[in-house]
Each structure stands twice: as C-alpha cells, then as structure tokens.
C-alpha cells in the first residue's frame, strides 16, 4: 500500500468492506458472478470488468490498492455492474441501489472523519466506466433542461450517491462529478435527461406557436 493513507484509514476502509461482506443481503456479491452456471452468456459482453466483495477483500489483504479511494472505486463497481446488467426495477437492481446508498453513507463518513479526498490513483482500472462521449452528451443535456428538472437530478444524486456532489458553503450551488456516479445510476439519469429534454423542447415549440 502506498503511504498516502494511514493504517487507521486502511483499517476503517477494510472494516467497511468486511461489514458489507457479512451482510446477509450481500450474499450475491460475495463471489464473482457464475454467469456460465446461471446461463447468463451475455454477461461478459455487457460487464467488461466484473467485481465482487471477496475479490476486494483478497486485494486488500494482498495490499494491491494504492489508496482507499481505489477500494471505493471497486466497491462502486459491484453495484454499478449489477445495475447495468439487471433491469431497472428488478429485485437485483433495487438491492444494488440500496447497498450503494448504504456504502456511500459509510464511505462519506470515513472521508469526513479522516479529512481525505475521494481521489482514485492514476493507475486505477476504469474499464466499464462511463465514456467521455457519454459525459459530454450528459453535460449538454443538462443545459437544455429546466431548472426544475436539473433540481430533480441534483436531489437524486445527493440521495443516492452524495459523494458525487460538491456543494458550496451556502449550498446554493453544487458541482456534479460524473466519475463518482455508479454506471447504473448514470444510465438512469441519462435516460431521465433525454426524456426531460424532449419534453422541454416540445413545450417550447408549443409556446412559440401560441405566440
């Protein structure tokens, strides 16, 4: 492990991972997905970088992570993989969403307690993450949305992955960090933004016709 984190910080991060591993609702995430045994033959095509809690525990024990942010990146990958592969509204999707919220709460407390940044190392593997093209498209869509729709996105992010949102002191403005939004949640936000932008554009056209 790199010297960027203290033993106390590593111990705190390891405890978070171990606590999740012990949870009964995390049983499906303790080992790699047995896609062959389950007959999920499209899994490797959809999920480019599989991840599970057991693998993270082994990596922590072998000191393969450069900092705690790299560990958090892999934990988030578990939830985002699940939410990417499973349909929105399915039991597995909802379970991953709930676990993601619980993890973000505990991880945010760790960052606050030790006053450290959530910044993965340069060598972290981000395969399977949101592409730069998707990030740019999402940013452009935000400019097309109404203040109400942007507000809905901000509230959703603040609730489901608060570490992806940086607020100013007065909390009147917020900066969105797409890199910290799990892929599954990002896809959902993108779909909302696309639909909202269409509605906004349609409303503007109707308004112009009335004029």
Handedness of CA 17, 23, 26, 29 (dihedral sign): positive
pLDDT grade for 206, boundaries at 50, 70 and 90: very low
pLDDT at residue 29, rounded to an integer: 98
Instruction: Please give the Cα distance from 191 to 87 (Å, whole number).
Output: 13
Lowest mean per-residue pLDDT among 77-81, 83-87, 153-157, 179-183: 179-183
* pLDDT tens sequence across 110-137: 999 999 988 888 777 655 567 777 788 8
The pTM for the full model equals 0.68
pLDDT grade for 192, boundaries at 50, 70 and 90: confident
pLDDT at residue 2, rounded to an integer: 42
* pLDDT tens sequence across 14-43: 999 999 999 999 999 999 999 999 999 999
Nearest C-alpha neighbor of 72 from the set 2, 139, 126, 120:
120
Angle formed at CA 176 by CA 171 and CA 178, multiple of 5 degrees: 160
Percent pLDDT > 70 in the chain is 88
């Amino acid at each position: 492990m790199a010297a960027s984190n203290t033993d106390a910080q590593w111990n705190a991060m390891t405890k978070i991972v171990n606590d999740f591993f012990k949870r009964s609702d995390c049983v499906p995430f303790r080992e790699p997905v047995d896609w062959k045994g389950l007959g999920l033959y499209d899994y490797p095509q959809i999920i480019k970088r599989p991840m599970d809690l057991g693998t993270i525990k082994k990596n922590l024990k072998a000191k393969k992570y450069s900092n705690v942010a790299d560990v958090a990146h892999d934990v988030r990958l578990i939830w985002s993989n699940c939410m990417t592969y499973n349909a929105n509204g399915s039991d597995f999707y909802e379970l991953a969403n709930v676990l993601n919220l619980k993890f973000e709460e505990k991880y945010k407390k760790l960052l606050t307690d030790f006053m450290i940044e959530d910044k993965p190392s340069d060598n972290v593997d981000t395969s399977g993450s949101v592409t730069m093209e998707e990030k740019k498209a999402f940013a452009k869509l935000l400019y097309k949305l109404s203040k109400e729709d942007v507000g809905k996105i901000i509230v959703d992010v603040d609730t489901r992955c608060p570490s992806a949102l940086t607020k100013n002191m007065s909390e009147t403005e917020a900066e969105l960090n797409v890199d910290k939004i799990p892929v599954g949640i990002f896809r959902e936000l993108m779909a909302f933004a696309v639909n909202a932008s269409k509605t906004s554009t349609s409303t503007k056209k109707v308004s112009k016709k009335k004029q």
